[in-house]
Amino acid sequence: MGVHSGVSVLIVVCLLGLSANAKDFTINAPQGSDITNLLLKTFNEACQCPTKSSVLIPKGEYKLGAIEMMGPCKAPIRITIQGTVKADGNINGKDFWIAFRRINGFKLNGGGVFDGEGNAAWRANNCHKMALTQCKKLPISIRFDYITDAKIRGITSLDAKNFHINVIGARNMTMEEVTIIAPEESPNTDGIHLGRSDGVKIINSIIKTGDDCISVGDGMRNLLVERVTCGPGHGISIGSLGLYGHEEDVTGIRIVNCTLDNTDNGVRIKTWPSAACSTTASGIHFENIIMKNVTNPILIDQEYCPWNRCNKNKPSTIKLVDISFKQIRGTSGNKDAVKLLCSKGFPCKNVEIGDINIKYTGADGPPTFQCSNVSPRLTGIQVPKACSSPVTKLPGQ
> Annotated catalytic sites, by residue?
234
Q: For the residues of 248-315, what is the DSSP string, one character each?
A: PPEEEEEEEEEEEES-S--EEEEE-TT-SS--EEEEEEEEEEEEEEESSSEEEETT--GGG-S-TTS-
Handedness of CA 226, 289, 374, 336 (dihedral sign): negative
The C-alpha angle 204, 78, 168, rounded to 5 degrees, equals: 65
Q: Is 77 helix (H, G, I), strand (E, B) or coil?
A: strand
Backbone dihedral angles phi then psi of residue 207, each to the nearest 5 degrees: -130, 120
- Cis amide bond preceding 232, omega within 30: yes
134 and 177 in contact (C-beta within 8 Å)? no
111 and 155 in contact (C-beta within 8 Å)? yes
Q: CB within 8 A of 102, min separation 6: which ones?
A: 70, 71, 72, 145, 146, 147
Q: CA-CA distance, 254 to 264, in Å (whole number)?
A: 21
Strand partners, 80: 56, 109
Distances (CA, A) of 202 to 15, 109, 159, 234, 254: 35, 14, 20, 17, 10
- Tally of helices (H runs) and strands (E runs) in the chain: 1, 30
Within 10 angstroms of residue 276's Cβ, the number of other Cβ atoms is 13
Look up residue 279 and give its amino acid.
Answer: T
Q: CA-CA distance, 24 to 376, in Å (whole number)?
A: 56
DSSP state of 195: E
Nearest 10 degrees: Cα torsion 101, 102, 108, 113: 10
